Chains A and B, each alone.
Chain A
Amino acid sequence: MNGTVIETPSWPSTYGDEARPRVGFFTDTSVCIGCKACEVACKEWNEVPAESLGFEGSSYDNSGDLGANRWRHVAFIEQKVPVNGVTESAPDSWVEEAAKQQLVEHGLEPHDDDSGFRWLMSSDVCKHCTEAGCLDVCPTGSLFRTEFGTVVVQEDICNGCGYCVVACPFGVLDQRKDDGRVWKCTLCYDRIGDDMEPACAQACPTDSIQFGPLDELLDRAGKRATELKDRGHADARLYGADPDDGVGGFGAFFLLLDEPEVYGLPPDPVVPTRHLRRNWLAAGLAAAALAAGIAASFVGEGK
Chain B
Amino acid sequence: MHDGNSSEADRGSVERAVPEEPTYVHGGTGPGPRTTQTTSTGVGDRRRGGRRREGGERAMVPREKPSSYYGRPVIKPPVWTWEIPTYFFTGGLGGASATFALAAGLTGNRTLARRSWLIAFGALAVSPLLLTSDLGKPMRFLNMLRVFKVTSPMSVGSWVLTLGATATAPAAASAFLGRDLPGARAARFIAGALGLPVATYTAVLVSNTAVPVWSEARWELPLSFAASAAASAGAAATLATPVELAAPARRLAIGGAVVESAMTELMDRRLGELGEPYREGASGRLAKAAKALTVVGAVAMASGARRSRPVVAAGAAALLAGSVCERWAVFKAGFASAEDPKYTVGPQRERAADRSAPDP
Please state if A297 and B248 are interface contacts (CB–CB under 8 Å): yes
Please state if A171 and B75 are interface contacts (CB–CB under 8 Å): yes
B240 to chain A, nearest CB (A): 16
Q: How far is the CA of A160 from the CA of B132 in the complex (A)?
A: 10
Q: Is A168 an interface residue (CB 8 A)?
A: yes
Q: Which residues of A contact B196 (CB under 8 A)?
A: 287-288, 290-291
Within B208-237, which residues are at the interface with A (CB < 8 Å)? 208-211, 215, 218-219, 221-223, 225-227, 229-230, 234
Q: A139-B147, A175-B79, A283-B222 are in contact. Are A267 and B158 (CB under 8 A)?
A: no
Q: A58-B10, A293-B227, A296-B251 are in contact. List 8 more A-B contacts (CB 8 A).
A: A136-B152, A138-B152, A140-B147, A240-B33, A245-B32, A268-B33, A282-B219, A303-B108
Q: How far is the CA of A232 from the CA of B146 in the complex (A)?
A: 54
Name the residue among A75, A288, A289 with the largest chain B CB count within 10 angstroms: A289
Please state if A259 and B28 are interface contacts (CB–CB under 8 Å): no
Please state if B259 and A293 are interface contacts (CB–CB under 8 Å): yes
Q: Which residues of B contact A206 (CB under 8 A)?
A: none
CB-CB nearest in chain B for A263: B69
Q: How far is the CA of A84 from the CA of B52 in the complex (A)?
A: 9
Q: How far is the CA of A236 from the CA of B4 in the complex (A)?
A: 32
Please state if B208 and A167 are interface contacts (CB–CB under 8 Å): yes
The 4 closest A-B pairs by CB, nearest first: A160-B136, A180-B136, A264-B69, A286-B222
Within A256-303, which residues are at the interface with B (CB < 8 Å)? 258-270, 272-273, 275-276, 278-280, 282-283, 285-291, 293-298, 301-303
A residues lining the B interface (CB < 8 Å): 1, 55-59, 61, 64-65, 67, 75, 77-81, 84-87, 89, 91-93, 133, 136-142, 157-163, 165-176, 179-182, 221-222, 225-226, 229, 232, 234-242, 245, 258-270, 272-273, 275-276, 278-280, 282-283, 285-291, 293-298, 301-303
Please state if B31 and A241 are interface contacts (CB–CB under 8 Å): yes
Q: Which of B137-145, B272-280, B302-310, B319-327 contacts A (4 or more CB under 8 A)?
A: B137-145
Please state if B203 and A179 are interface contacts (CB–CB under 8 Å): no
Q: A86-B52, A139-B152, A235-B26 are in contact. Are A290 and B69 (CB under 8 A)?
A: no
* Residue from B47, B52, B146 in contact with A141 in the complex, judged by beta carbons closer than 8 Å: B146
* Residue from A56, A64, A232, A280 in contact with B204 in the complex, judged by beta carbons closer than 8 Å: A280
Q: How far is the CA of A243 from the CA of B143 in the complex (A)?
A: 33
Please state if A77 and B18 are interface contacts (CB–CB under 8 Å): yes
B residues lining the A interface (CB < 8 Å): 4, 6-7, 10, 13-14, 17-18, 20, 22, 25-28, 31-35, 43-44, 47-52, 54-55, 58, 66-70, 72-80, 96, 99-100, 103-104, 107-109, 134-138, 140-141, 143-144, 146-147, 149-155, 158, 196-197, 199-201, 203-205, 207-211, 215, 218-219, 221-223, 225-227, 229-230, 234, 247-249, 251-252, 255-256, 259, 334, 338, 341, 344-345, 348-349, 351-352
CB-CB nearest in chain A for B71: A58
Please state if A302 and B108 are interface contacts (CB–CB under 8 Å): yes
* Residue from B55, B103, B150, B234 in contact with A295 in the complex, judged by beta carbons closer than 8 Å: B103
A178 to chain B, nearest CB (A): 10
CB-CB nearest in chain B for A245: B33
Q: Which residues of B contact A173 (CB under 8 A)?
A: 76
Q: Which residues of A contact B134 (CB under 8 A)?
A: 161-162
Q: Which residues of B contact A142 (CB under 8 A)?
A: 143
Please state if B218 and A275 are interface contacts (CB–CB under 8 Å): yes
Please state if B51 and A286 are interface contacts (CB–CB under 8 Å): no
Q: A159-B136, A266-B345 are in contact. Are A287 and B234 (CB under 8 A)?
A: no
Q: Which residues of B contact A265 (CB under 8 A)?
A: 74
A81 to chain B, nearest CB (A): 7
Q: How far is the CA of A158 from the CA of B79 in the complex (A)?
A: 14
Q: Which residues of B contact A266 (CB under 8 A)?
A: 74-75, 344-345, 348
Please state if B136 and A179 are interface contacts (CB–CB under 8 Å): yes
Please state if A139 and B155 are interface contacts (CB–CB under 8 Å): yes
Q: How far is the CA of A295 from the CA of B99 in the complex (A)?
A: 9
Please state if B75 and A168 are interface contacts (CB–CB under 8 Å): yes
Q: Which residues of A contact B47 (CB under 8 A)?
A: 232, 234
CB-CB nearest in chain B for A137: B152
CB-CB nearest in chain B for A295: B103
Q: How far is the CA of A85 from the CA of B54 in the complex (A)?
A: 8
CB-CB nearest in chain A for B350: A268
Please state if A238 and B31 are interface contacts (CB–CB under 8 Å): yes
CB-CB nearest in chain B for A247: B33
* Residue from B75, B207, B230 in contact with A279 in the complex, judged by beta carbons closer than 8 Å: B207
Please state if A269 and B348 are interface contacts (CB–CB under 8 Å): yes
Please state if A261 and B341 are interface contacts (CB–CB under 8 Å): yes
Q: A141-B146, A232-B51 are in contact. Are A261 and B349 (CB under 8 A)?
A: yes
Please state if A57 and B10 are interface contacts (CB–CB under 8 Å): yes
Please state if A259 and B26 are interface contacts (CB–CB under 8 Å): yes
